[in-house]
Amino acid sequence: MKSTQTVAAALVLAAATGLAPARAADISQGVQTLDLSGGAAVLMHAFGAGNAGNTFSDRYNFTASSTQALGTMVTSLDLGALGLGGAGFDSFKLYNSGGLSMDASQLSAPGAAAEVWTLGVPHLVADSYYLLVSGTVRNDFAGNYVGSVTVSAVPEPATYGMLLGGMGIVGWLARRRKA
């Protein structure tokens, strides 16, 4: 009897170790290309109901053709108690073509009902870049995250020199006229 119980326990343990652990599904939307020719673009991923625990890693490619200032923000509301969904972010990063990354700053408390991440780069040189938004869907309700990317031209140092020179001339002319 004792050996039968031992054999049964060994078979149960063997079967249990052979089972693969449950894993979250990857619901990434794949690689998207942002058109920043107008100076701005929107980041968005909508999740259907029943995705609690599933993960995503969405990539947004873009190109900077000249020196530009970059500002980005991404946010999600987790309103599961109200029947509205949300996603929790694990990371929000900017990568250049060489693979160097810059992490975003999280403005809200981790796990808060509203998560907000921002990233600003004052001098983005001409190169190919991508933003990577990664996270986990927190509940079974449908939800989304949304964000924005803006770029603006950064004046060259010579432009600042011309501006200062012009202001100096205007000041000199005003002083001369007064005298």
- Assign 82 to helix, strand or coil: helix
* pLDDT tens digits for range 119-176: 888 888 889 999 999 988 888 888 888 899 988 876 666 666 777 777 878 887 777 7
Top pLDDT among 34 and 178 is at 34
Rounding to the nearest 10 degrees, give the CA dihedral for residues 62, 68, 73, 74.
10
- Compute CA distances 173 → 84, 159, 165, whole Å: 64, 21, 12
d(CA 67, CA 99): 19
For the whole prediction, is pTM greater than 0.95? Answer: no
Instruction: Evaluate whether 90 touches 68 at the Cβ level (below 8 Å).
Output: no
What are 106's strand-pairing partners?
117
- Structural domains of the chain ordered from first start: 26-155 (2.60.120.380)
* pLDDT tens digits for range 49-84: 888 888 999 999 999 888 888 889 888 877 655 556
